Structure 1
Amino acid sequence: MQTFSLKGDYIQLIQLLKAMNWVEHGAMAQYVVDEGMVLYNGVVDYRKRLKVRVGDVVEFDGQKVEII
């Protein structure tokens, strides 16, 4: 599992996907969220603007990241 160090209170889900280099651009990030391909704390979540915070775990395409 990878880790991502949060610099503020939160990061939006689509921004996290881009920051992790799991997607090439914002439109692709929105698409994978819309299609239910992203798990947030083990559950499919369709909110693109979801505020991911310390302690959360995001999964996509066999990759997993914990926010620290």
Structure 2
Amino acid sequence: MDTYQIKGEYIQLIQLLKVLNWVEHGGEAQAIVSAGQVRCNGEVDYRKRLKVRPGDTVEFDGKRVHIIE
């Protein structure tokens, strides 16, 4: 599992997918979240603006990342 360090209190889920280069653009990020292809802390989450915080784990397409401060 990889880690990603954020600056600040949180990062929105679609922004995280873009900065990790798991998607090419924001429209793709929104589509995969809406389709239920992304898991946060082991559960599917459909919220595009989900606030991902340190301690959370995000999964998509066989990739996992743990968010740290």
Same-fold call, TM cutoff 0.5: yes
Q: Percent identity at matched positions?
A: 68
Q: Structure 1 unaligned segments of length 5 or more: list them.
A: none
Deviations 1:1-38 (A, max 9, x none): 11100101000000000010000000000000000000
Partners in 2 of 1:19 and 1:4 — Cα distance? 10
Question: Structure 2: where are the runs of 5+ without partners?
Answer: none
Match of 1:49 in 2: 49
1:13 corresponds in structure 2 to 13
Look up the match of 1:37: 37
1:25 corresponds to = 25
Q: Under a length normalisation based on structure 2, what TM-score does the superposition of the two structures give?
A: 0.98
SS in 1 for 2:15: helix
Amino acid at match of 1:46: Y
TM-score (norm 1): 0.99
State the AA in 2 paired with 1:64.
Answer: R
